[in-house]
Amino acid sequence: MTTFRERSDAAGPAEPADAAATPTPGRLTLAEVLEIFAGSRLPLRITAYDGSSAGPPDASFGLDLKTPRGTTYLATGRGDLGLARAYIAGDIDIRGVHPGDPYQLLKALADNLEFARPSPRVMAQVIRSIGFEHMRPIAPPPQEVPPRWRRAAQGLRHSRNRDAEAIHHHYDVSNTFYEWVLGPSMTYTCACYPSPVASLEEAQENKYRLVFEKLRLRPGDRLLDVGCGWGGMVRYAARRGVTAIGVTLSREQTAWAQRAIAEEGLTQRAEVRFGDYRDIAEGGFDAVSSIGLLEHIGVRNYPAYFRFLRSRMRPGALLLNHCITRSDNKTEPSAQGFIDRYVFPDGELTGSGRIISEAQDAGLEVLHEENLRPHYALTLRDWCANLVEHWDEAVDEVGLPAAKVWGLYMAGSRLAFESGGIQLHQVLAVRPDARGDAVDLPLRPWWTA
């Protein structure tokens, strides 16, 4: 089997080095340009194709700018987009970390790097040094989706067609690839670790147990699971005597889940459908679970989302909404840069306060909420470890650029959960009866932590 190192060495540089890049009097080297933007506090060693270098020679981590195309990506990409483009296209190599888990390098950058804004005079010198030709945008790597304004051809944001295309982009990568990254549970949402030393599988099983108990599900009950993924919650509930229906917009997930249901002998109680959750016609469910769907709904659609779920619940039924959130309720919800263009097109996040308010305004009584933020950092750690372990197989399955996207995205997300920039909230709510009563719920929480 070809290793990542062997594959990289065999591939060689993406483009020949530009001989004209040799520094001339009054012209900055590429390393000097990078030092200017880093405020002269580079926490890693940087080398460039013009022969220049910057940063501590004994640094544990490094970046190699290999091609002029990489310079163009860096100069024209806003925010983190330029660096991501150059890395994914192979114009930047990383040293000291595995591409399946570049967490330590990203952490070094986050802890030490302070981007400086050059004066107009210095900025003019930078442009003269790298050349005006590098200031003209070029085509991004093919893994990048178009900017939001160009996605209008697929319909309005969060229309059914556009939502389906966004889900297809992220979730229909390859079931085989997801099996390597997610492990046997095929669960692509935050786990809940019963202890710091628990395995990923134990933590995912514990998460389903927690959701099941919060929803007070019993044999004979009916569960609706919207955005059901590969059917993990549906099968967990069915194994315990609950009749469960799941729905997903991913054809790959649907096919995998249906096979798993048949193999486990659960077809009498478990069903996963391909389609939009809004197409569910049945009602009177005893419980509804939504695990990792709200991120794709769009904040302006929250009122309709919660009203629809309420309409499918009997009086006294419980709803568990599990989703990624922001740490405040004021920040612009739309994702930007790398995440929007490579990972979750049209994804939107807001704070738990906004989610609770919308659920209440839709006629649901919120009973409980909790933040599982540290658990998601651990989950991402373990997913990255799986990707590293199966790196060569993953590259063979989806290609090196796509595998690099996943390593970068998961390691960066782990860092964001650790720092509190993003969080994971579970919100439990009930549909009151006609008198506004929450029926026969216990006076205090009835589930175990």
Q: Which pLDDT does position 437 carry in this prediction?
A: 79
- Are 57 and 197 part of one and the same domain? no
Instruction: Yes or no: say if 299 and 347 are a contact pair by the CB < 8 Å rule.
Output: no
pTM (2 decimals)?
0.88
- Are 332 and 299 part of one and the same domain? yes
Q: What percent of the chain has pLDDT over 90?
A: 72
- Lowest average pLDDT, out of 3-17, 118-132, 216-230, 401-415, goes to 3-17
Mean pLDDT score, 388-403? 96
- Are 120 and 185 part of one and the same domain? no
Give the mean pLDDT of the chain: 88
Q: Which pLDDT does position 267 carry in this prediction?
A: 98
pLDDT tens-digit profile of 109-138? 888 766 667 788 888 999 999 998 999 999
- Are 113 and 237 part of one and the same domain? no
- Are 210 and 82 part of one and the same domain? no
Q: Which pLDDT does position 15 carry in this prediction?
A: 41
Q: How many CB atoms lie within 10 A of CB 255?
A: 14
Confirm whether 419 is domain-assigned. yes
Q: Which pLDDT does position 210 carry in this prediction?
A: 98
Confirm whether 392 is domain-assigned. yes
List all residues 6 or more positions away from 175 whose beta carbon is below 8 Å from its beta carbon: 230, 252, 253, 255, 256
- Are 184 and 119 part of one and the same domain? no
Phi and psi dihedrals of 320, rounded to 5?
A: -115, 115
Q: What percent of the chain has pLDDT over 70?
A: 87
Q: How many CB atoms lie within 10 A of CB 187?
A: 26
- Are 219 and 331 part of one and the same domain? yes
Confirm whether 147 is domain-assigned. no
Q: Report how many domains make up the chain.
A: 2
- Are 131 and 164 part of one and the same domain? no
Confirm whether 140 is domain-assigned. no
Phi and psi dihedrals of 76, rounded to 5?
A: -110, -15
**Distance separating alpha carbons of residues 195 and 378, to the nearest angstrom:** 11
**Distance separating alpha carbons of residues 62 and 105, to the nearest angstrom:** 8
**Distance separating alpha carbons of residues 6 and 58, to the nearest angstrom:** 25
Mean pLDDT score, 365-391? 98
Q: Is the pLDDT of residue 419 over 90?
A: yes
Classify residue 327 by burial, with Cβ atoms within 10 Å: 0-12, 13-18, 19+. Answer: middle
pLDDT tens-digit profile of 186-204? 999 999 999 999 999 999 9
Q: Give me the residues paired with residue 430 across strands.
A: 318, 365
- Please give the sequence-ordered ranges of beta strands (E in DSSP) within 227-334, or none if there are none: 243-248, 270-274, 285-291, 313-326
**Distance separating alpha carbons of residues 107 and 419, to the nearest angstrom:** 10
Q: Which pLDDT does position 114 carry in this prediction?
A: 63
- Are 193 and 283 part of one and the same domain? yes
Q: Which pLDDT does position 23 carry in this prediction?
A: 42
- Lowest average pLDDT, out of 227-241, 289-303, 434-448, goes to 434-448
> Cα dist. 421→149, 153, 214, 304, 373 in Å?
27, 32, 27, 27, 10
**Distance separating alpha carbons of residues 348 and 373, to the nearest angstrom:** 17
Q: How far apart are the first and last CA of the chain?
A: 44
- Are 78 and 217 part of one and the same domain? no
**Distance separating alpha carbons of residues 362 and 386, to the nearest angstrom:** 40
CA angle, 182 as apex, 143 and 345 as ends, to 5°?
35
- Are 179 and 129 part of one and the same domain? no
Confirm whether 239 is domain-assigned. yes
pLDDT tens-digit profile of 131-178? 989 999 999 998 888 776 555 555 555 556 655 555 554 555 789 999
Instruction: Yes or no: say if 261 and 231 are a contact pair by the CB < 8 Å rule.
Output: yes
Sheet hosting strand 270-274, strand order edge to edge: 270-274, 243-248, 222-226, 285-291, 313-326, 422-430, 365-371
262 pLDDT band (50/70/90 cuts)?
very high
- Are 231 and 360 part of one and the same domain? yes
List all residues 6 or more positions away from 2 whose beta carbon is below 8 Å from its beta carbon: 10, 392
pLDDT tens-digit profile of 9-41? 333 434 433 333 444 447 899 999 988 877 667
Of the candidates 78, 99, 108, the residue with the CA atom closest to the CA atom of residue 406: 99
Q: Is the pLDDT of residue 410 over 70?
A: yes
Instruction: Give the H/E segment covering residue 85.
Output: helix 81-89
List all residues 6 or more positions away from 121 whose beta carbon is below 8 Å from its beta carbon: none
Of the candidates 251, 227, 232, 245, the residue with the CA atom closest to the CA atom of residue 185: 232
CATH of the domain at 419: 3.40.50.150
Q: Which pLDDT does position 153 carry in this prediction?
A: 58
394-423 in b/e form (b: 16+ CB < 10 A) is bbbbbebbbbbbbbbbbbbbbbbbbeeeeb
User: Which position has the higher pLDDT, 32 or 262?
Assistant: 262
416 pLDDT band (50/70/90 cuts)?
very high
Q: Residue 29 sits in which domain range?
A: 4-135
Q: Give me the residues paired with residue 93 across strands.
A: 64
- Lowest average pLDDT, out of 37-46, 69-78, 270-279, 322-331, goes to 37-46
Question: Helix 175-182 vs helix 391-398: angle between axes, to the nearest 10 degrees?
Answer: 160
Mean pLDDT score, 413-417? 97
